[in-house]
C-alpha cells in the first residue's frame, strides 16, 4: 500500500490518532521517567562514590588506628578523649568511636552536608537503631541485594540516602557477638545521606520543559484529530492536516515501527530505513526478527511478546543487526494499540539508536579505571624509586670494587639488571597512567622490533618459535623507543603464557592506510598513514567476554601470584599516549592476534647514541645532601665522598636550613629531596633565597617529573634528577649543576 492510498482509506484517521496519542504518551512517560531516573542514578553514583571514599579512607587510616565506628552515648568527643582504645562497661576493649568519628569528619569536612551512620537491628547504642528505610534496606541485604536507595523528604528538605550492608568481622565479635551475631553475618546498614535538592531541581527543570513541549505537540495533534471528525464539508482540509501530522511522524528522528497482532510489519518511518539499511518495501509484511543479532536468547524475546500481548508496555534495550551485518544498540518502547472496544489491533515500537552513547559510557568507565591505576602508580612511585636507588647504587659500588674475573660479578650484574627492569616497570606504569613524560622522537619501528628480538627469544623460551616479518619500507613514527620496547615485551609475555606447551609467535610490521571504509568497518581511527605491528600466537585463545576486558587494569585469568593483570593495560596506555590504536582478534583454541596502529611521521630518524663517561667525574666541592630516606642519603654520601667531594648531611627540610646557615660560606651545592618532612625541597630553596643565598641546587624526586613540575614542587628550569638513579648519573648531574 502506497502512502497516498493509505491516507485515502477510511481507516487512516483512527490509525493516525492511535499512533499519535500512543507515541505522545509513550514519549512523555519515557522522557519524564528518564529525567528522574538519570538524576537518581547520578545521586546513587555520588552515594556509592562517597561510601567507597569512606572505605578507602578507613583502610588508609587503619594504618594508624583501625576502622570507623560511629560515636555512642556517653563517650567523649575526639578533642576531649583522643585515645584510640577505650574500656567498655563490661570491661572489654574496643576502638574509641569518637576517635574514629573525628578521622572521618576530618576526611569529609564539616561543611560538606554529608551524613554517614551505622544502624543495626540489635545495636549496642540506642542511637544506632534502624529507622524505616534502614529496616527495608536490611531486609533486602539479607535477601542478597548489594545496595538500597531512598529519598527522605521529611524535615522540609529532600535528602538522598544510599545504603549498603555491613558484615561482622573477627574484631567486631568482641562486643557484637553478645548480641547474637556471628562472623560474616550482615550486622546492619551503613547509611550515607546528602542533599537531594540539586538533583530534584534538575528533575523539576527537565519536567517543565518536557511537559511544555508535549503540551504544545499534543495540542497541535488534538487540533488535527478534531479536524478529522468535522463535517464532510471540511473533510478534505482535515485530511490535509492529518497529512502534515503523518509528515511529522515520517520525519521523526526516532525509529517508528508498527506491526499487526501477528507481528507482521505494517509501517516503518525513514529513520528506521536510515538506521537499519532496509528499505520500507523490503520489510513490510516481514517479521522484526530480520533484525535479530543472536545476542539475545529465546527467553528474552518470549518475555517481550508475553508483555505486549498481555496489554502492557515493554521498555528495554536491543542489540540488533543492520542489513550490512553491523551490530547496533537500540533503546525501545513497544506498546499495544487498541480499538474503541479495547481490543489490541497493533503494536507500536518507538526506538532510538544508542550505539554512540554506549561507546561513550564504556569510554568513561575505562577512563575511570585508568585514572584509578594512575593514582595508585603515582602513590607508590616515590617510595619504590627510593628503594631502587639504594639497590642500584650499592650494587654499582660492589661491581666497581670487583676484579674483572671475579666469580660474583655475574650475580651483581643480575641484581642490577633486575633493578633496572623494576625501574622500567615503574616508568611503564606511569606511562600507562599518563603521568610520566614520554620522550617522543622519530623512531623506525622495524629497527625497534629487530633490536628487541634477541630479548624476546630469551623471554619466551626455546619451546616457542619467534618469527619476524618486516615491511620493505621504513616505518618512522613519533615514539618513545623504550616504551615501544616495553609494548613488545608485554605482548610477548602474554603470548608466552598463552602457549604453555610451546608454539609460534609471529611479529609483523606493515604499512597501512586508514580511510573512511576502514574507520566505518572497525569503528575507530582517523584517516592517514600508519605503521601496523601485528603479534600473532598459536596459543589457547580467548572468548569474547575476555577480549572485552583484556586491556582493563588488574584483569587477569592467570592463577593467583602468576600475574598482576597490568601487562596489557600498560600496552594499551602506551599506545593511546602515542596517538595510536590497538585491537585484538581471537577465538578459543585458535590463538590471538594483537594489532597496533601508530601514525607515521615524515621526520627522519636521528641515530643518537647514548654516551656515558668511562670514568665518573670527580670534584673537591662541598655538598649539602638533604634526604629523609636514610639508605638513599648514605648512598649519596658514599658516592660523592668516594669521588672527592666533601659531604654534609641533613635529615629533613628544617635540618637542611640549619646546616646551611651554619656552613653557608663553605657549601657549593645543595642536593634536595623534593618531598621531605618539616619542609619540602622547594620550601628550603625559597627560604634560602630570601636570605640572599645564590647556592646552586640539584633537586631529586621519586615522583614523575611532570607531576613535580605540575604541582609546583620545583620551578621549571631548575635541575631535577628523577629516582632511581645510578652512581654515574648522580655524579654526572652533580658535575653539570656545579659547572652550569
Quickly name the fold that domain 438-599 has: Heat Shock Protein 90 (3.30.565)
Sign of CA dihedral 704, 705, 711, 713: positive
Bridge-based pairing of strands 85-87 and 93-95 is: antiparallel
- The whole-number pLDDT of residue 278 equals 93
Contacts of 606 (CB under 8 A, 6+ apart): 441, 442
DSSP E strands: which ranges in 120-223? 148-152, 159-167, 186-195
- The whole-number pLDDT of residue 87 equals 60
- The whole-number pLDDT of residue 544 equals 85
Three-state DSSP class for residue 543: coil
- The whole-number pLDDT of residue 535 equals 94
- The residues with which 165 forms a beta bridge, in sequence order, are 189
Quote the CATH superfamily of domain 255-353.
PAS domain (3.30.450.20)
Q: Which of 337, 329, 332, 302 is nearest to 315 (CA)?
A: 332
Bridge-based pairing of strands 186-195 and 159-167 is: antiparallel
Q: How far apart are CA 32 and CA 603, in angstroms?
A: 55
Q: Which of 686, 671, 683 is nearest to 737 (CA)?
A: 671
Three-state DSSP class for residue 107: helix
Query: What are the residue boundaries of the structural domains of the chain, listed by start?
Result: 132-195, 255-353, 361-412+616-740, 438-599
String of DSSP letters for 29-97 = HHHHHHHHHHHHHHHHHHHHHHHHHHHHHHHHHTTTS-------TTPPPTTT---SEEE-TTS-EEE-H
- The whole-number pLDDT of residue 284 equals 92
288: exposed, middle or buried (C-beta count within 10 Å: 0-12, 13-18, 19+)? buried
- The whole-number pLDDT of residue 618 equals 82
Q: How far apart are CA 127 and CA 138, in angstroms?
A: 17
pLDDT in tens, 447-504: 999 988 887 888 888 889 999 999 999 999 998 888 888 889 889 988 998 898 899 9
Does pTM surpass 0.85? no
Q: What is the CA radius of gyration of the chain?
A: 34
96: exposed, middle or buried (C-beta count within 10 Å: 0-12, 13-18, 19+)? buried
In the CATH hierarchy, which top-level class contains the domain 361-412+616-740? alpha beta
- The whole-number pLDDT of residue 378 equals 60
Angle at 612 between CA 393 and CA 478, to 5 degrees: 105
What is the dihedral angle through the alpha carbons of 697, 703, 706, 712, rounded to the nearest 10 degrees? -60
- Determine contact, residues 135/108, Cβ cutoff 8 Å: no
Supply the angle between the helices 445-460 and 481-498 in degrees, to the nearest 10. 40
Other beta carbons within 10 Å of 602: 7
Name residues of the chain where pLDDT drops below 50.
56-57, 59-81, 104-105, 107-112, 232-233, 560-562, 607-616
Q: Which of 359, 32, 340, 384 is nearest to 213 (CA)?
A: 32
Q: How far apart are CA 53 and CA 230, in angstroms?
A: 65
Amino acid at each position: 500500500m502506497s502512502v497516498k492510498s493509505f491516507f485515502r482509506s477510511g481507516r487512516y484517521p483512527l490509525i493516525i490518532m492511535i499512533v499519535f496519542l500512543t507515541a505522545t504518551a509513550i514519549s512523555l512517560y519515557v522522557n519524564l521517567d528518564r529525567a528522574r531516573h538519570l538524576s537518581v542514578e547520578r545521586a546513587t553514583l555520588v552515594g556509592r562514590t562517597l561510601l567507597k571514599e569512606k572505605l578507602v579512607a578507613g583502610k588508609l587510616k587503619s594504618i594508624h588506628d583501625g576502622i570507623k565506628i560511629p560515636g555512642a552515648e556517653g563517650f567523649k568527643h575526639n578533642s576531649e578523649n583522643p585515645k584510640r582504645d577505650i574500656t567498655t562497661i563490661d570491661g572489654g576493649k574496643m576502638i574509641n568511636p569518637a576517635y574514629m568519628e573525628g578521622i572521618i569528619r576530618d576526611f569529609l569536612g564539616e561543611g560538606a552536608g554529608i551524613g554517614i551512620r551505622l544502624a543495626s537491628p540489635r545495636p549496642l547504642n540506642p542511637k544506632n537503631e534502624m529507622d524505616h528505610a534502614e529496616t527495608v534496606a536490611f531486609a533486602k541485604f539479607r535477601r542478597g541485594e548489594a545496595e538500597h536507595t531512598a529519598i527522605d523528604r521529611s524535615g522540609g528538605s529532600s535528602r538522598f540516602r544510599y545504603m549498603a550492608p555491613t558484615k561482622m568481622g573477627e574484631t567486631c565479635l568482641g562486643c557484637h557477638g553478645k548480641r547474637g551475631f556471628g562472623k560474616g553475618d550482615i550486622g546492619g546498614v551503613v547509611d550515607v545521606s546528602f542533599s537531594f535538592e540539586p538533583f530534584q531541581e534538575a528533575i523539576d527543570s527537565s519536567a517543565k520543559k518536557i511537559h511544555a513541549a508535549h503540551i504544545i505537540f499534543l495540542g497541535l495533534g488534538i487540533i488535527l484529530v478534531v479536524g478529522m471528525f468535522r463535517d464532510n464539508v471540511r473533510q478534505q482540509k482535515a485530511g490535509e492536516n492529518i497529512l502534515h501530522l503523518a509528515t511529522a511522524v515520517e520525519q521523526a528522528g526516532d525509529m517508528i515501527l508498527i506491526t499487526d497482532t501477528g507481528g507482521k510489519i505494517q509501517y516503518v518511518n525513514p529513520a528506521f530505513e536510515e538506521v537499519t539499511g532496509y528499505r520500507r518495501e523490503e520489510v513490510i509484511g516481514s517479521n522484526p526478527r530480520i533484525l535479530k543479532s543472536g545476542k539475545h536468547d529465546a527467553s528474552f524475546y518470549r518475555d517481550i511478546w508475553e508483555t505486549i500481548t498481555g496489554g502492557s508496555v515493554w521498555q528495554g534495550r536491543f542489540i540488533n543487526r543492520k542489513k550490512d551485518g553491523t551490530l547496533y544498540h537500540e533503546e525501545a518502547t513497544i506498546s499495544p494499540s487498541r480499538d474503541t472496544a479495547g481490543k489490541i489491533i497493533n503494536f507500536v515500537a518507538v526506538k532510538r539508536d544508542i550505539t554512540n552513547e554506549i561507546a561513550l559510557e564504556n569510554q568513561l568507565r575505562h577512563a575511570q579505571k585508568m585514572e584509578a591505576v594512575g593514582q595508585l602508580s603515582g602513590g607508590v612511585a616515590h617510595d619504590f624509586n627510593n628503594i631502587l636507588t639504594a639497590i642500584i647504587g650499592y650494587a654499582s659500588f660492589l661491581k666497581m670494587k670487583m676484579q674483572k674475573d671475579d666469580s660474583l660479578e655475574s650475580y651483581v650484574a643480575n641484581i642490577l639488571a633486575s633493578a633496572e627492569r623494576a625501574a622500567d616497570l615503574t616508568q611503564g606504569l606511569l606511562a600507562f597512567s599518563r603521568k610520566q613524560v614520554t620522550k617522543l622522537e622519530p623512531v623506525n619501528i622495524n629497527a625497534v622490533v629487530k633490536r628487541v628480538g634477541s630479548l624476546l627469544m630469551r623471554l619466551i623460551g626455546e619451546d616457542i618459535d619467534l618469527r619476524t616479518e618486516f615491511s620493505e619500507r621504513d616505518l618512522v613514527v613519533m615514539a618513545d623507543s623504550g616504551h615501544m620496547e616495553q609494548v613488545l615485551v608485554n605482548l610477548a609475555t602474554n603470548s608466552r603464557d598463552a602457549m604453555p606447551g610451546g608454539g609460534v609467535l609471529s611479529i609483523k610490521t606493515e604499512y597501512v592506510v586508514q580511510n573512511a571504509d576502514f574507520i566505518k568497518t572497525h569503528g575507530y581511527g582517523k584517516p592517514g598513514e600508519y605503521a601496523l605491528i601485528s603479534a600473532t600466537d598459536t596459543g589457547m585463545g580467548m572468548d569474547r567476554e575476555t577480549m572485552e576486558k583484556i586491556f582493563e587494569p588488574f584483569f587477569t585469568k592467570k592463577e593467583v601470584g602468576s600475574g598482576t593483570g597490568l601487562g596489557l593495560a600498560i600496552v594499551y596506555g602506551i599506545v593511546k599516549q602515542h596517538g595510536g590504536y590497538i585491537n585484538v582478534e581471537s577465538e578459543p583454541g585458535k590463538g590471538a592476534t594483537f594489532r597496533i596502529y601508530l601514525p607515521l611521521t615524515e621526520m627522519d630518524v636521528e641515530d643518537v647514541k647514548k654516551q656515558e663517561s668511562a670514568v665518573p667525574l670527580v670534584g673537591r666541592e662541598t655538598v649539602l645532601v638533604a634526604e629523609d630516606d636514610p639508605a638513599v642519603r648514605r648512598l649519596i654520601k658514599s658516592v660523592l665522598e668516594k669521588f672527592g667531594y666533601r659531604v654534609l648531611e641533613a635529615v629533613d627540610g628544617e635540618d637542611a636550613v640549619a646546616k646551611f646557615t651554619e656552613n653557608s660560606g663553605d657549601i657549593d651545592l645543595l642536593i634536595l629531596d623534593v618531598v621531605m618532612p618539616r619542609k619540602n625541597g622547594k620550601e628550603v630553596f625559597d627560604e634560602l633565597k630570601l636570605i640572599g643565598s645564590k647556592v646552586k641546587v640539584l633537586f631529586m624526586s621519586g615522583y614523575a617529573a611532570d607531576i613535580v613540575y605540575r604541582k609546583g614542587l620545583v620551578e621549571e628550569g631548575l635541575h631535577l634528577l628523577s629516582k632511581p638513579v645510578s652512581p654515574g648519573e648522580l655524579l654526572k648531574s652533580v658535575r653539570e649543576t656545579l659547572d652550569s
